[in-house]
Amino acid sequence: MHDPCAALTLELLPSLPQRSSGAHKGQFGHVFVLGGAPGMGGALALASAAAYRVGAGLVTAVGHPAAIPYLAAELPEATWWDWPSNFSALPENAVLAAGPGLGQGLAAHDMLRELGQLTCPQVWDADALNILARFGPSLLRSEAVRLFTPHPGEAARLLGLHGSNEIQADRLGAIQALQSRYGGHWVLKGHHSLLLGGGECCYCPWGNPGMATGGSGDVLTGVLAGLLAQGLSASDALLLGVSLHALAGDRAVRQLGPESLLASDILKALPYVLQELKSLDV
């Protein structure tokens, strides 16, 4: 099914750079997570926490004020911006993750139009992808490092197809068509997620059906942004981030079973997987 895509192995995974004894938070990037429409503050909190858990130095959640209680309860370490009219105040080391709980209202459309003109590294997920599908590639006006994380339904909308069945019938062709149309680096999520960046396509052999639960993709978005913030290349962030997410899901499901797995369980398992990978010297 995956030929000519090769499977990722632990030995192929990039690693995070070693931290010096004099390290400070400014050296590990500043992730801004854009989402959190009314009723969807949890998605924003999950993505923000995931960016912190993989090593980002600072995380700012950018959302509708209705999402503030989620951040206050779940992640007091994060700072907060109300949904802004522009991003002119972003620091030089900013990485933007757009989509977790964003919604598709007028404010979201306006912010995505501005995001498409920024040159800082970016991760696009969820409703950011649905808005991108509506505007098409013309929304991406700037040259920027971009990672895109669609599930099959979002991929179908991005390619103007009728539904996810068309994507599932030719996943390799779909991810190649997505990169050809929009550029950037891609993960097509699902069983054995496909990855396509600067080189050949490969697939992630880890993960399990228990990860098919609300919020799982938000955790992945935060992981990818947190890795980009620490200076990993887009290709390395994609390989390591998708693998970390899947391995954390596998670690959690061994304890809890697929029916009971929550996205927050994947989040909690991330630090342990990071340590296990370090012990393997991969």
DSSP, residue by residue, 113-126: HHHTT--S-EEE-T
Question: What's at 213, amino acid-wise?
Answer: T
Taking only the tens of pLDDT, the chain with its 282 residues reads 444 699 999 998 999 988 999 999 999 999 999 999 999 999 999 999 999 999 999 999 999 999 999 999 999 999 999 987 679 899 999 999 999 999 999 999 999 999 999 999 999 999 999 999 999 999 999 999 999 999 999 999 999 999 999 999 999 999 999 999 999 999 999 999 999 998 899 999 999 999 999 999 999 999 999 999 999 999 999 999 999 999 999 999 999 999 999 999 999 999 999 999 988 864
Rounded to the nearest angstrom, the gap between the alpha carbon of residue 189 and the centroid of all alpha carbons in its chain is 11
Cβ contact 69:140 at 8 Å: no
Q: Report how far residue 96's alpha carbon sits from residue 115's, in angstroms, rounded to the nearest whole number.
A: 8
Residue 31 dihedral angles phi and psi, to the nearest 5°: -90, 130
Domain 25-279 belongs to what topology? UDP-N-acetylmuramoyl-L-alanine:D-glutamate ligase (3.40.1190)
pLDDT for the residue numbered 281: 63
**Packing angle between helix 41-53 and helix 263-279, nearest 10 degrees?**
10
Helix (H, G, I), strand (E, B) or coil at 40: coil
The distance in angstroms from the start CA to the end CA of the chain is: 27
Rounded to the nearest angstrom, the gap between the alpha carbon of residue 22 and the centroid of all alpha carbons in its chain is 29
Q: Which residues contact 184 (CB under 8 A, 6 or more apart)?
A: 140, 145, 146, 147, 148, 234
Does the pTM exceed 0.95?
yes
Q: Which residues contact 13 (CB under 8 A, 6 or more apart)?
A: 239, 240, 243, 277, 282
Cα angle 251, 201, 153 (rounded to 5 degrees) comes to 70
pLDDT for the residue numbered 1: 44
Question: What's at 165, amino acid-wise?
Answer: N
Cα dihedral 159→161→166→167 (10° resolution): 20
